Amino acid sequence: MDEKNPWVASILFVFKKLFLPVLGCLAILGMLAGLSPFWSGEGETTSAWMLWGPIVLTGGFIFFLIFGRYRSEKKLLKAVQSSKSFETALREGESRYRRLAESNIIGLIETDLRGRILEANEAFLSLIGYQEEDLPLEWKAITPPEWHRAGSRALDQVKESGVIAPWEKEFFQKDGSRVPVLIGTAQLDGKRNRCINFVLELTNRLQAEKQREHYFQELRRSNAELEQFAYVASHDLQEPLRMIVSYLQLLDRRYKGELDDAAAEFIDFAVDGANRMKGLLNDLLSYSRVGTRGKTFAPVNCSECLDAALSNLKLAIEESGVHVYCEPLPTFTADSMQLTQLFQNLVGNAIKFKSENPPEIDIQAITQKEGWLFSVKDNGIGIDPRHKDRIFLVFQRLQTREDYPGTGIGLAICKKIVERHGGRIWVESANGEGSTFYFTLPEKGYETE
């Protein structure tokens, strides 16, 4: 009988919930009515219950037998169907496992709880150089001695919890060489004395990590040498450059009036070039000192650093008439001198590249998940978005020296200071619409390499 049919389901529901209890009650009453004359001692009765009581009782009994058999057959059918579904799912699972093992994407091995390798796919066997005929293999026989203790702990863990998180170890190959692997283990359902293990070779990854570490160390060494070279060059070139300027000025004073206008102009050009060279060397020296001459990180009040920077720019602020707006800034671990230089360079940059509008600078800091986000916003001439990365490079200029003096290293120093503190710096701007420089600094400052 199909209970999925709604009509059949409704009839069975009414039959089981209403008719069946009523029929049972009638059967019991009939039985009592049929036996009542014997209890009373009369020996006979003309009651209708004498006739219908046994009939109803017998019908109810027959119904119980039929309905009980139907229920039993129904349960048996469900059990058979469930068993078939389980067998189907089991076959599908075994098929998927077999396809995975035969695909040889990763090594798969089946072991017992003592660690003996009972079965393995081709990927694992080729990894360690063995053949299927060599199975079973004792795990200690193909494991270097220094990994035996870790292997024993892993076996104890799988006995307790039934699973081992992936961990790194080494296997001996048949020729005696070693191969690093990542291995994970889980007990098989239905076979508690068997485990399935996946094995992934790590040779390429470890080689890549070693190569990356080598390149990193080489880069650190190269950067250190470049910083030292920049420091030495900019420092040691100061003296000969100072001598050149001195003798040119002496030549101008001693032979003033004796030289024609062209010679005097040549001397002026030479002195101007020497002074610009001196400025470049000083800026290069400052740039190299960011990484080599920085102070130890300590708790710093950024508002005090900004006040110091504005004090250094007092004359430029008064001459330009700029208005600087700032909310209270946070306190965290950093290099106070370099933060002062950072604010000084950004504010000075905003003053230098002011537009015809009354100059305004707005400085803010908001907290973020990983630290603080600072912004220095101005209403100056702005920057072409195509050059938003170029301006942070050393000695890169977007305007001519005649219009805007300077060496073009100020923003490069800002970038190096921010990166030393573990943050980053960028700009959002457009021509004629002002610029907003953003930089992040971590709450707990740390010095990067």
Residue type, 192: R
Q: How many CB atoms are located within 10 Å of the residue 291 CB?
A: 20
Tens-place pLDDT, residues 421-432: 889 999 998 888
- DSSP, collapsed to helix, strand or coil, labels residue 194 as strand
**pLDDT confidence of residue 40:** 46
Q: Any residues with CB less than 8 A from the CB of 305 and at least 6 apart, and which?
A: 329, 336, 339, 340, 342, 343
Per-residue pLDDT, 87: 59
Find out whether 195 and 110 touch, Cβ atoms under 8 Å.
yes
Res 63: pLDDT: 52
What would the pLDDT profile of 123-142 be if each residue is shown by its tens digit?
888 888 898 888 899 989 99
Q: Are 186 and 195 in contact, with CB atoms under 8 Å apart?
A: yes
Q: Give the torsion sign (CA, 25, 26, 27, 32).
A: positive
**Positions in the chain short of pLDDT 70:** 1-105, 189-192, 225-236, 238, 280, 282-289, 291-294, 395-407, 445-449
